[in-house]
Amino acid sequence: MKKQTIESAMSRLEEITAILESGEQDLDSSLKLYEEGVRLIDFCSKSLIEAKQRITKLSENV
């Protein structure tokens, strides 16, 4: 399985947003997409926090 990247997560979030905004999904499908979106947002948030921590640590060593 390919490792998730923040770029691929953001791309998928854009796809999910477009699908949900179209209003063409039934409620169950919309909820599943929403849940996937929440997981992707959590992944992106954690990735950004980790990147910030790495940058802070590197900056301290300069």
Can you give the residue ranges of every domain in the chain?
6-60
Does residue 3 register a pLDDT over 90?
no
Render pLDDT for 34-49 as a digit per residue (tens, 0 to 9).
999 999 999 999 999 9
Task: Give CATH for domain 6-60.
Answer: 1.10.287
SS3 label, residue 19: helix
Residue 25, classified by CB atoms within 10 Å of its CB into exposed (0-12), middle (13-18) or buried (19+), is: middle
Q: pTM here? A: 0.85
Q: Are 16 and 37 in contact (CB under 8 A)?
A: yes
- Res. 1 pLDDT band, cuts 50 70 90: low
pLDDT at 2: 72
